[in-house]
Chain A
């Protein structure tokens, strides 16, 4: 599983990499997690530019079987994800307003969570 800076989780077979940690993933699925649930979107072959990768790790298939998360249809998970994003954005707005009042400099680049 590869985690990107925009928060996406991609699961696939690592085919190759280079000195910049550019990755080639095959049979990739994008898995969206909301609460205890997740939804998968099949994506095919990805060539990921290394600087956008936060981390990657090998999936332990035994732990996968024993996980408590349940799979739900993609449409549902996308709706749930949007709601979660909106809630987070509302909180972030309040937070940045308060910080700004206190004199802090607020950076709102939402694409890069890291």
Chain B
């Protein structure tokens, strides 16, 4: 799964962010975007030397200042569930679009099934690539 989608899945979970200057931020991820900008809640900020601490109820971190993020192990299991859910949603949507077009051909038999399985095949491929 893409790194940024892993991050989206981690919303609501505690994580550690280290910035390029060595400061660390421990807190719960509220939200993130495509530039890796984050909002965290209940944050403990630590200075690069590890000698000073601050407690921040909320904070915003600009993505380009981040060195790395440390996320808990459970996220990986959640990722698999989320991917399965996303695939279901995509398949449901595609079947809906296919049936709308092919609704008129229902009388002619096989065409509906072909359209449906075509949608699934596409979804399956995308799933394994990710």
Which residues of A line the B interface, CB within 8 A?
Answer: 4-6, 15-18, 22-24, 26, 43-49, 51-52, 111-112
Q: Is the CB–CB distance between B4 and A22 below 8 Å?
A: yes
A44 with B20, Cβ < 8 A, contacts A18-B3, A24-B3 known: no
Partner of B70, one of A4, A18, A23, A44: A44
Known: A45-B76, A111-B20. A52 touches B68 (CB 8 A): yes
Contact B20 A52 (CB under 8 A): yes
Q: Knowing A45-B72, A49-B36 touch, does A23 contact B67 (C-beta < 8 A)?
A: no
Contact B3 A17 (CB under 8 A): yes
* Other-chain residue from A22, A44, A111 in contact with B3 (beta carbon distance below 8 A): A22
On chain B, the residues within 8 Å of A24 by CB distance are: 1, 3, 6
Footprint of A on B, CB under 8 Å?
A: 1-4, 6-7, 20-22, 36, 48, 63-64, 66-73, 75-76, 130
Distance in angstroms between the alpha carbons of A4 and B63 in the assembled complex: 17
- For the A-B complex, the count of residue pairs with Cβ-Cβ distances under 8 Å equals 63
Partner of B2, one of A4, A16, A52: A16
What are 18 of the A-B contact pairs (CB < 8 Å)? A15-B1, A15-B76, A16-B6, A18-B4, A22-B36, A24-B1, A43-B70, A44-B72, A45-B75, A46-B68, A46-B69, A46-B71, A47-B6, A47-B69, A48-B69, A49-B63, A49-B68, A111-B20
Q: For the complex, what is the distance from the CA of A94 to the CA of B35, rounded to whole Å?
A: 40
Chain A, residue nearest B48 (CB): A111
Please measure, in the bound complex, the distance between the C-alpha atom of A4 and the C-alpha atom of B73, giving whole angstroms: 22
User: Are A23 and B3 within 8 A (Cβ)?
Assistant: yes
B2 proximity list for chain A (CB < 8 A): 16, 18
B75 to chain A, nearest CB (A): 7
A46–B73 CA distance with the chains assembled, in angstroms: 10
Q: Is the CB of B68 within 8 A of A47?
A: yes
